[in-house]
Structure 1
């Protein structure tokens, strides 16, 4: 189970369950997909992109790139969104996926946190 905070000392914003060791390198593989910009439509990648798109300054910068003839692929926008988010990630290793999911649910139940998670 992993947690993301916006900024080194900023608020917690996202909690997720890693892929474990069975798929694509576990949590390291999942984070690699996010940092490559290839996970725009899932989990943390989607949450970050949604918030970046809602930031007028970030969006103006992307539009300016297009208007100057420096249009980029969607993965480039995904990378830019992740840099904008300034996420800092920590994790907790659990004995099973079930334990990780249960821990994720307990963390998401914390009151007063503006979670970026879509499904709560």
Structure 2
């Protein structure tokens, strides 16, 4: 579960809920590594962070200035910067098995549906 850092004291709702799965035994660390490497730019939380970045003219102007100075970033660097610029905090629970993780994920999604970036994606997946 991710929310904007420092907002929990003010009752900020989470913006992303997802189950990391085992990830070959790497769990949440494996999920975060995918996001931090830039490989998660087109799915999950990485996609939503990138979409927000692409909608921010000031951020895009900064990228353009870097390129014009001859210091362009790689797509991996830009994808990671899109996440970093949001200053998110993460919270997680280690579950004993996959079914427990899925039940917890479903409960959190139901509780926080209105604030989740991935709510539409979750609803679409549930219908499939």
Q: Scaled by the length of structure 2, what TM-score is found?
A: 0.79
1:9 is displaced (CA, Å) by 2.1
Larger % of helix: which?
A: 2
1:80 aligns with 2:81: yes
Larger Rg: 2
1:24 is displaced (CA, Å) by 5.9
Question: Which runs of 5 or more residues in structure 2 are unaligned?
Answer: 123-128
Backbone CA RMSD of aligned residues:
1.9
Corresponding residue of 1:15: 17
Corresponding residue of 1:5: 3
Higher relative contact order (CA 8 A, sep 6+): 1
Matches within 5 A, 1:86-105: 86-105=87-106
Answer whether contact 1:14 1:115 (CA < 8 A) is retained: yes
Larger % of strand: which?
A: 1
Matches within 5 A, 1:7-46: 7-9=5-7, 11=12, 12-20=14-22, 22-23=23-24, 25-46=26-47
Rate the CA distance shift 1:110–1:55 in 2: closer, same or farther, 3 A. farther
Corresponding residue of 2:121: 119
1:86 is displaced (CA, Å) by 0.6
Aligned length: 117
1:108 aligns with 2:109: yes
Corresponding residue of 1:50: 51
